[in-house]
Structure 1
Amino acid sequence: MAKSEMFNPPHPGFVLREYMGNIDVTAMARHLHISRITLSRILNGASGISAEMSLRLGDALGTHPSFWYDMQASFDMWQARQKKRPRIERLNAAA
């Protein structure tokens, strides 16, 4: 695990919920020009935050888009590392 990699990072949707404060889901979805269902899926951890959504959130919340995108990537990487996968030997390209 890389030094900068968090142990079991939260889904970025849970962090977004905190950033929203008292703004309700319907109002935030409308502001982002997305459906309430799409936003609810993100907030509940059922969907990830795409590059496009990262840009929208950056515009709406005054954060850098990479904040959301990198948080999603960290979450996805941690989740992937928890799954069993085949052992892959290093490729010797100098042959």
Structure 2
Amino acid sequence: MGRMYDPAHPGEILKEDVLPGLGLTVTEAAAQLGVSRVALSRVINGRAAISPELAIRLAQWLGGNAESWLQMQLRHDLWNAERNSSANVTPVKRSKAA
């Protein structure tokens, strides 16, 4: 299976699918999650990443597992890093074993 093209930030999933599906505002969701409205808003608007702590809270709140939220974040971050990387790295040359 190939890598997803421009994977969504997990905050976008929360903003577009989860909160409307639950009929919740950011303020209500933040209160239920035990985080500040500002912190959740930053994630929802793609200005902050899903932390391991928030991933645990989301899994407890919605069901499922924390790893799935972290994997979404990782896919999003890696896809963007690969497209924005200006690294010019020379692969290591291994010496021949004696």
- TM-score by length of structure 1 reads 0.88
Alpha-carbon distance, 1:68 to partner:
0.6
Per-residue CA deviations over 1:1-56 (Å, capped at 9, x if unaligned) read x82x2101111101012122211111110111110011111111111101111100
User: Superposition RMSD on alpha carbons, in Å?
Assistant: 1.5
Alpha-carbon distance, 1:92 to partner:
2.8
Q: Does 1:48 align with 2:49?
A: yes
Unaligned residue ranges in structure 1 (runs of 5+)? none
Alpha-carbon distance, 1:84 to partner:
3.6
Distance 1:77 1:60 in 2: 26
Stretch deviating more after TM superposition (77-86 or 41-50): 77-86
Runs of 4 or more consecutive aligned structure 1 residues displaced over 3 Å after TM superposition? none
Alpha-carbon distance, 1:63 to partner:
1.8
The one-letter code of the counterpart of 2:11 is: G
1:16 aligns with: 14
Distance 1:43 1:68 in 2: 13
Q: Does 1:59 align with 2:57?
A: no
Unaligned residue ranges in structure 2 (runs of 5+)? none
Look at both structures and tell me which one has the larger radius of gyration over its CA atoms.
2
Alpha-carbon distance, 1:81 to partner:
0.9
| Structure number having the greater helix percentage | 2
- TM-score by length of structure 2 reads 0.86
Q: How many residues align?
A: 93
Percent identity over the alignment is 33
Distance 1:61 1:82 in 2: 32
Distance 2:95 2:56 in 1: 41
Q: How does 1:24-39 map to 2 (within 5 A)?
A: 24-39=25-40
1:82 aligns with: 83
Stretch deviating more after TM superposition (51-60 or 20-29): 20-29
